[in-house]
Chains A and B, each alone.
Chain A
């Protein structure tokens, strides 16, 4: 403690002496230089020109240096500076701790969200997993992951990064929707097989199994057709179909938007440019046709 205190006391004195000495040395050097240059007369080419401007700048710089060094050389200023520098490692440590804690918290949130995947699926039994896997995944994605794609982007490339994130988000939503849609489409196939199995069991019991393999096929295709007809009129199918089409459109739109940004770098017209042109041509043609009809009648 005493040692530290002693260091703090000798430090400012030593530095103050060094500052004074440095100020004196450079002050003497400057005066010598000024005296030497004062003997040189300004040339005809630069009457009171470049050298006198340079001299004035040097004078001003020297004066500032002298003022600063004499101020800094005062012991109380040096003491204050030393106190400040003593707290520097503490500040740095706090900053590092805070950053690390933020990073750990961020990572912890990721792990927590990942951990909730297990919790979400726990609610579904193994038997229901097929039926509900897409819905469960959709729920997890919407609640736990989607927010990451909506984190505000910063800086020069924020606009482009935002589009990349949006495309990834729409792609994930589309994948979930198409998965659910395909699952529904496959449902009648599995159900029809089990119905056929039951029916075959009954026929077998009754001793009425058909000999012709064609009859088995006809039995299955008829049952399959019936299941599809029932499915296609169900609210669940119609809603899923609508959602899938919407998700497909949104992903396509986001993807196109991103691609158009990339195409911007190439010397070719984009689809949006062409669409604008098509619209102009369409409107012009329509006006010409209307005028032609007016003239002909």
Chain B
């Protein structure tokens, strides 16, 4: 008789070993879960300096001398909350930007209620954002400020900067969808089959919980099963549990989306793809991307399943600015802001880029040729050597 093909004895002994480990883990986990846990998020001190309706303008207290003359306003998406940028000490975009001497402001969109259902994209961009930007300009006696947008907030920033180029000095877009005509991201495919009129007319606002359920469905195997299996395997690790709970707090903190904004975002962006074609109209004004004449840096994640690279990378080729940079990080949608590796390469990179362009009334500059990888892109038979010369691909996710 030869060796058995299936090592049953080894498998069984491993199972017994695993069961012992699980018992020991559960014993320790009860101490961790029942003990004090530090799972506070958004702990960096700030002051609310301006408020209109439910929308607040946060001003973060500097932790060092302000090195940049131009303050930076960060605009988060209307989906989930801006607390993601300040998840925990040591893993905080806010903390890093402050440490680099940036005078930092951030919009907190608050929690829309039923009475906000009629608010349109125009109300958010030309209303709330304009109020906040004017407030900062007046406070600092500046004509222009720096603007940075996250995801849908980035799309709002692109619209605002195209409609008000005289108020924006430098534009930073991060995981910002501008081209919606792609079948690479499931959201882009699914949204074409959704009837936004029916949903908005029925529900008023789009429920944050329903949207979150939709996001979980993008990858249920990982987001609804594997993630929690991972938690059970590490629940005896206090640091792991604290970080896990922080992320859970952020993910499921989902404000509703004002109905009319949802309706327009699905129809004009996902279904008609008007923005990238410079055909979008907001507040009876056409959003012409050629008006984006300010320096632009455009970050996106190579493995982003919500806003894939194809949804982001066309922007720099469509704007009027001669100073544009695309940065593709090897990470996902959230990893750009919270992964340990990106802490060193995302926010510090923004701070350095802004510092280079902080001189008053600076003329448009050409891209540096020190990039590790250069790509020339030809569009419409015309060589745009100044465009997308620098397409960095960094391993950081």
Contact = CB atoms under 8 A, between A and B. Distances in A.
Interface of A: 185, 188, 204-207, 209, 211-214, 217, 221, 224-225, 228-229, 232-233, 238-239, 241-242, 245-246, 249-250, 252-253, 256, 271, 274-275, 278-279, 281-282, 286, 289
Contact of B118 (A214, A224, A274, A278): A278
B45 interface: no
Instruction: Provide the main secondary structure of the chain A interface.
Output: helix
The 7 A-B pairs with the shortest beta carbon distances in the complex, nearest first, are: A207-B5, A242-B193, A225-B221, A249-B202, A224-B221, A278-B115, A282-B118
A209 B198 contact: no
Interface stretch (B6-14, B57-65, B308-316, B372-380): B6-14
B38 interface: no
Instruction: Output the residue of B5, B119, B193 with the most chain A CB within 10 A.
Output: B193
Contacts of B127: 286, 289
Interface stretch (B222-230, B270-278, B286-294): B222-230
Interface of B: 5-7, 10-11, 14-15, 18, 114-115, 117-119, 123, 127, 183, 186, 189-190, 192-195, 198-199, 201-204, 217-222, 225-226, 229
B226 to A, nearest CB: 5
B189 A233 contact: yes
A289 B123 CA distance: 11
Contacts of B202: 249-250, 252-253, 256
Contact of A241 (B6, B118, B193): B193
A99 B188 CA distance: 59
A296 B18 CA distance: 71
Contacts of A241: 190, 193
Nearest to A239: B193
Given A213-B18, A275-B117, A278-B117, A232 B5 contact: no
Given A211-B10, A289-B127, 12 more contacts: A185-B217, A204-B6, A207-B6, A209-B5, A209-B11, A211-B14, A232-B218, A233-B183, A233-B189, A249-B202, A253-B202, A274-B115
A221 B226 contact: yes
B114 A209 contact: no
B221 A221 contact: yes
Given A238-B190, A286-B123, A205 B5 contact: yes
A239 B11 CA distance: 44
A183 B10 CA distance: 38
Given A207-B6, A224-B221, A279 B118 contact: yes
Contact of B186 (A188, A232, A239, A246): A232
B225 to A, nearest CB: 7
13 contacts: A188-B221, A209-B5, A209-B7, A211-B14, A213-B14, A213-B15, A221-B221, A233-B189, A238-B192, A242-B193, A245-B195, A245-B199, A278-B114
B11 A211 contact: yes
B166 to A, nearest CB: 13
B222 A245 contact: no
Contacts of A214: 18
Instruction: Output the residue of A206, A279, A282 with the most chain B CB within 10 A.
Output: A282
Contact of A238 (B114, B189, B221, B225): B189
A271 B18 CA distance: 56
B225 A221 contact: yes
A249 B5 contact: no
A249 B7 CA distance: 55
B44 to A, nearest CB: 31
A188 B220 CA distance: 11
Nearest to B117: A278
Nearest to B260: A282
Contact of B194 (A213, A217, A233, A245): A245
